[in-house]
Chain A
Amino acid sequence: MLKGLLGRKIGMTQIFDEQGVASPVTIIEAGPCFVTQVRTPETEGYSAIQLGFSESHPKKLTGGELGHLKAKDLPPLRVLREFRTTENDMKVGDKVTVEAFAVGERVDVIGTSKGKGFAGVVKRHNFNGQPKTHGASDRTRAPGSSGSGTTPGRVFRGKRRSGHMGSERVTMQGLRVILVDAERNLIGLRGAVPGPKGGVVVIQEARKQ
């Protein structure tokens, strides 16, 4: 069985276990996903399984996506993602649900972080900034000096500066599964998950167990 799933972040809450200990939990509406394509070394040169998620209005998909799915008698699925795997016990049309994961397992979650726009150096790289007082003016969040003097006479490549922050692919590793609700297609993971509410996330077996 493939240990992978696509989902949408619903939000965070706290859940109590039997001992009464509260855990911070992110709820993800995950699956049901359908296998939309099986890639094999013979045809594509590598083995992977493509999953589709989120049944939507056909107009929300491009013609190419629609054709790809229609040829396999699948509903219009808006989100398609590939999982590299050597397992070959799955065929097109197979359903993957939250039951692929059990409570207590560890998973990795991949998502797109919240966009922060053009961010300064304090927010983006955790610079300390400069004093508000002691004669300083308008320099509180300034980056300070970016290099030395005549030697080396230039600013080193990769110097951390202000710029666009967020909206990038982020992986959270080793989150513990706290809750699996097959009826409502929900999975609860201990801790935070990248991205806004409603953002698409990929859940897969933890690389570091």
Chain B
Amino acid sequence: MSDQIMKAVEAAANPKIPALQPGDSVSVHVKIKEGERERIQEFKGTVIRLRKGGNESSFTVRRVASNGIGVERTFLMRSPRLDKVVVERHNIVRRAQLYFMRERTGKSARLKQKFD
């Protein structure tokens, strides 16, 4: 009963966000407001963490920016700021949280592509 009431209040899932897997190479399209104008910014990287929980779901994307500096960004799945998420490729990973990627650079930071 109370769950139904909560569902009615919470934001609906974004249909432009597909089912994600840890290790996926994704491109996240985020709406950014600059004064009056609104534009879309892309954030490309690897999904290193997925937190499932309906309305509170989130995922963390890691990318290595210039000079080998790692950048991680956590997105809320139901946020209206998320325009869409594009999965560019699936990768073979053997754990749910890929925190070991933080210690890896260069060649060892690559993931093997998974072909279905």
CA distance A84 to B98 in the complex (A): 58
Whether A205 is near chain B, meaning CB under 8 Å from some CB there, is no
Q: In the complex, what residues of A have CB within 8 A of residue B6's CB?
A: 10-11, 13, 27
Select which of B5, B10, B80 is within 8 A of A184 by beta carbon. B5
Q: In the complex, what residues of A have CB within 8 A of residue B79's CB?
A: 16, 20, 22
Q: In the complex, what residues of A have CB within 8 A of residue B5's CB?
A: 10, 27, 29, 184, 186
Known: A10-B2, A11-B2, A197-B2. A16 touches B78 (CB 8 A): yes
Whether A179 is near chain B, meaning CB under 8 Å from some CB there, is yes
CA distance A151 to B78 in the complex (A): 63
Select which of B9, B11, B33, B81 is within 8 A of A27 by beta carbon. B9
Select which of B2, B11, B31, B81 is within 8 A of A15 by beta carbon. B11
Whether the Cβ atoms of A16 and B2 lie closer than 8 Å is no
Q: A14-B55, A27-B6, A186-B8 are in contact. List 7 more A-B contacts (CB 8 A).
A: A10-B2, A18-B80, A20-B79, A25-B9, A181-B8, A186-B9, A197-B2
- Interface residues in B17-34 (C-beta closer than 8 Å to A): 31, 33
Number of interface residues of A (CB under 8 A): 20
A23-35 to B contact mask, C-beta < 8 Å, 1/0? 0010101000000
CA distance A20 to B81 in the complex (A): 6
Q: In the complex, what residues of B have CB within 8 A of residue A18's CB?
A: 80
Q: In the complex, what residues of B have CB within 8 A of residue A195's CB?
A: none
Select which of A14, A19, A184 is within 8 A of B56 by beta carbon. A14
Please, which residue of chain A has its CB at the minimum distance from the CB of B82? A20
**CB-based A-B contact count at 8 angstroms:** 44
CA distance A179 to B28 in the complex (A): 29
Q: In the complex, what residues of A have CB within 8 A of residue B33's CB?
A: 19
Please, which residue of chain B has its CB at the minimum distance from the CB of A181? B9
- Interface residues in B67-86 (C-beta closer than 8 Å to A): 76, 78-81
Select which of B8, B31, B80 is within 8 A of A16 by beta carbon. B80
Known: A11-B2, A14-B55, A14-B56. A188 touches B81 (CB 8 A): no
CA distance A13 to B8 in the complex (A): 11
Whether the Cβ atoms of A22 and B76 lie closer than 8 Å is yes
Min C-beta distance of A116 to chain B, whole Å: 23
Whether the Cβ atoms of B8 and A184 lie closer than 8 Å is yes
Select which of A15, A19, A197 is within 8 A of B10 by beta carbon. A15
Q: In the complex, what residues of B have CB within 8 A of residue A29's CB?
A: 5
CA distance A23 to B6 in the complex (A): 15
Q: In the complex, what residues of B have CB within 8 A of residue A186's CB?
A: 5, 8-9
B40-65 to A contact mask, C-beta < 8 Å, 1/0? 00000000000000011000000000
Select which of A11, A16, A184 is within 8 A of B11 by beta carbon. A16
Please, which residue of chain B has its CB at the minimum distance from the CB of A18? B80
Please, which residue of chain A has its CB at the minimum distance from the CB of B9? A27
CA distance A179 to B31 in the complex (A): 24
Min C-beta distance of B29 to chain A, whole Å: 14
What are 10 inter-chain pairs, A to B, with CB distance below 8 A?
Answer: A10-B2, A13-B55, A13-B56, A14-B55, A16-B79, A25-B9, A27-B6, A181-B8, A181-B9, A186-B8
